[in-house]
Amino acid sequence: MPVSITPWSATTTAHDARDARDDLVFVDEADTPSPADCCAAGQLPSWRILVVDDDADVHSTTTFALDNVEMQGRRLEFLHAFSAREARLMLEREEGIAVVLLDVVMERPDAGLQLVRQIREELGMIEVRIILRTGQPGYAPELEAIRGYDINDYRTKSELTRTKLYTAVAAAVRSYQQLRALDASRAGLEHILSAGAQLMALHGVRDVAQGVLRQAASLLGQPPGGVLCVREGGHAGHEVLRVVAAEGQHHGLEGSGLGAQDATGAHGYAALAGIADRTLRERGSLAADGWLSLYFPGKAGRDFAACLPFARKLDDIERRLLDVFASVVAVGLDNVELVTHLNQAAFRDQLTGLPNRTRLVELLDATLAGPQRATATLALVDLDHFAETNDALGHHFGDLLLVAVGERLSSRLSPAGGAGLEIARIGGDIFCVLGDAATVQPAPIQALFREPFRIDGQDVQVSATLGLVRLCEHDGSGVDALKDADIALKRAKSRQRAGHFFFSRSMGVEIRERVRMMHALRSGFQRGELFLAYQPQVDLAANRAFGAEALLRWRTEDGRLVGPDRFIPIAEYSGLIVDIGEWVLRQALAELVRLRAAGYLDFTMSVNVSQVQFRHQHFVDMLRRALDDTGAPPEFVELEITESMAMEEPALLVEKLAQVKRTGVSIAIDDFGTGFSSLSHLQRLQVDRLKIDRAFVTEITGSARGSSIAEMVIQLGRNLGLSVIAEGVEDERQAHILRSLGCPLAQGFLFSRPLSPEALLGWLGKAQTEAA
């Protein structure tokens, strides 16, 4: 965990060093001044700590753990956000936030990391310190985010005891204070931040260590030289200072030990060994005997010392820059261990240590792509009645049983101790066995469960049911193979426990249904079963229709309506959506022309565009042809894309939307508020309108949260100069609230259900007559 470095004098004692570093003060200690004394002395402003977590208990425990604490003579002030979105708004609004205690997994798995990117890239907040915390180690943050965005620390919540929490916050506060103080030395600070990013991009302790030596020398304006070492060995009196990396004239010391008993002492390195040893013992940086040593604390007790030849005296700015450099580098050195930890968390089951579902999918994809596919079999092993055992004997007992099952599968399944096999646990009581078909057979696997498991002094008899799939018969991806095995497992469990079933193509009921619907949709499209309905869109202030949204519907030959949520994914999956989408656009544009001929000249037609359709290479050409062929004015045509579409592959989307905009057509983002749009990205997209998702419209009459989200979208649209429309308005109360919030436009059953072209003309005529 990075802490600042303070003692530079050769005469500083270890006790002084500890005192200089320990600026965390508890009110109940005898030597701590009272709040009254602080006020009388003119108390400094508080350090502002932003706690970002969707768990209210985390907020309360964090505040309790750091209550009545002073750091650097200042008290702590806590701000609280319960989502990444709320934190983003708070960071924009509040000033002087020093530290962000940030949960990795909130409204979505990477919400915390997305906020890190926003803090560094969009808000440009370089000084604020970020400490990542997670209670879900099975999800691994993106390593590029850890490396590239100057994150102070990363911890699981379970390992953050009170002591470690306030130590982490103290280090972050200190680092923040130093960054603020060094604002006048911007060039040096930019060098350090650049160096930190470069160090974190390196792999392996040696590469990082060499980078540290080079960057430190560059910061001091001198050629590379010196060593970076770590203390190794676990017994007092037998520890060795091992040189991890060396530069310049000291290059020959790399890999050797430093100490009075070594040959290094005879070659003039006694002073080097002495200052390195003292730096690690006193846990602070030193300058003495022609050497400058930097102390880098590491996790798990592996502290590092970098010793550089340095004869002159450090000036104050250099000392401060090196303080910050030490904080940044400590993270870089820990990053090697951190990457290992994150990979372990990402691809290993935390209970059994076996590969998890994510890793198994990778292994399956690799097997399916290689020659092993011809002979490989995947088996799902589901423990029978595990839930009852878990409930009766307790979760701890259940965990021990799962560990024992994993160990037995790994060690006994084949004569070679499982060689060539992969055993995984993909969740709950389900294990997977992947390997050669000769070994992955039901009989040998189920034979392992005939012997009782010895758990906490008790013999427990467990059986297992198996679902298997031969990969040579499988045509899909690793994820699909798991689904097939799960189908087989369900079939086996429906027949009898402790049995097994092999997946066959005839079992793919879901797949067959998807194919059947795909053919039916293709035929129905050719027969003209698809049609458009138009839902009016209304100006709330004037209470008049200004446009309509074209909605795709499917009525089969027997008169049955198929919901768009069922057939549109099939159309996208099959690629048929490209042809259907062009038909929808042309139909809607032709209807717009008919409406204009009927006198509705200020009428806008809104058309939804599927992601698959929009990404098609000829989409813009198709749009231009449709506009030309129908004669529809592009300024009265609006294309709707979903928010999730708007957030994918930003560079490609910006260019594609720019091409669309050049046709004169406007762009709306549908279902806004359900995704995680960044404001800068919205501005780059140059969209024209935001559609408030119906879920938030439904909530505005009974939920402060729903109202606040709707209001936020309306305010956002106003600030960005975008039009805003609410969809799914079903009653007058919702319309009234939307008007009061400043929402100008709406659509929904309150005004009209989706109408046929003829009914739309009638509705518009009636509305026009009533208005007159």
Residue 618 to residues 306, 410, 658: CA-CA distances in angstroms?
Answer: 58, 52, 15
Residue 274 lies in a domain: no
The mean pLDDT value for 83-95 works out to: 92
Residue 249 lies in a domain: no
pLDDT band per the 50, 70, 90 thresholds, residue 768? confident
Q: For the ranges 214-223, 541-550, 569-578, which has the lowest average pLDDT?
A: 214-223
Same domain, 604 and 718: yes
Same domain, 566 and 470: no
Residue bearing the bigger pLDDT, 68 or 734: 734
Total of domains in the chain: 2
Same domain, 469 and 601: no
pLDDT in tens, 363-373: 999 899 988 89
Residue bearing the bigger pLDDT, 342 or 273: 273
Residue 12 lies in a domain: no
Q: Which of 473, 507, 541 is the last residue of a domain?
A: 507
- Buried (b) or exposed (e) across 626-638, using 16+ Cβ within 10 A? bbeebebbbebbb
**What average pLDDT is seen over the chain?**
81
Same domain, 481 and 556: no
Q: Are 367 and 376 in contact (CB under 8 A)?
A: yes
Domain at 646, CATH number: 3.20.20.450
Same domain, 588 and 730: yes
pLDDT band per the 50, 70, 90 thresholds, residue 763? very high
Same domain, 376 and 483: yes
Residue 433 lies in a domain: yes
- C-alpha 59/C-alpha 50 separation (Å) is 10
Q: Does the pLDDT at position 245 exceed 70?
A: yes
Same domain, 479 and 550: no
Q: What is the pLDDT of residue 640?
A: 94
- C-alpha 600/C-alpha 763 separation (Å) is 12
Residue 682 lies in a domain: yes
Q: For the ranges 130-134, 252-256, 393-397, which has the lowest average pLDDT?
A: 252-256
Q: What is the pLDDT of residue 708?
A: 75
pLDDT band per the 50, 70, 90 thresholds, residue 584? very high
Same domain, 491 and 562: no
Same domain, 594 and 741: yes
Q: What is the pLDDT of residue 15?
A: 37
Q: Does the pLDDT at position 143 exceed 70?
A: no
Q: Does the pLDDT at position 18 exceed 80?
A: no
Q: What is the pLDDT of residue 145?
A: 55
Q: Does the pLDDT at position 162 exceed 70?
A: yes
Residue 542 lies in a domain: yes
Task: Please give the model's pTM, rounded to 2 decimal places.
Answer: 0.41
Q: What is the pLDDT of residue 418?
A: 43
Same domain, 575 and 628: yes
Same domain, 494 and 571: no
pLDDT in tens, 598-636: 999 999 999 999 988 998 889 999 999 999 999 999 999
Q: What is the pLDDT of residue 547?
A: 96
Same domain, 568 and 691: yes
Supply 352's token pair: 């059994």
Residue bearing the bigger pLDDT, 183 or 640: 640
The mean pLDDT value for 17-38 works out to: 34
Residue 74 lies in a domain: no
Q: Does the pLDDT at position 115 exceed 80?
A: yes
Q: Does the pLDDT at position 581 exceed 50?
A: yes
Q: For the ranges 368-377, 608-617, 670-679, 743-752, which has the lowest average pLDDT?
A: 670-679
Q: Which residues lie across from 410 on neighbouring strands?
A: none
Residue 46 sits at φ, ψ, to 5 deg, of: -70, 155
Q: Which domain holds residue 468?
A: 357-507
**Which of 427, 426, 409, 429 has the alpha carbon at shortest distance from 418?**
409
Which amino acid makes up residue 436? Answer: D
Domain at 375, CATH number: 3.30.70.270
pLDDT in tens, 386-410: 888 888 888 899 999 999 999 999 8
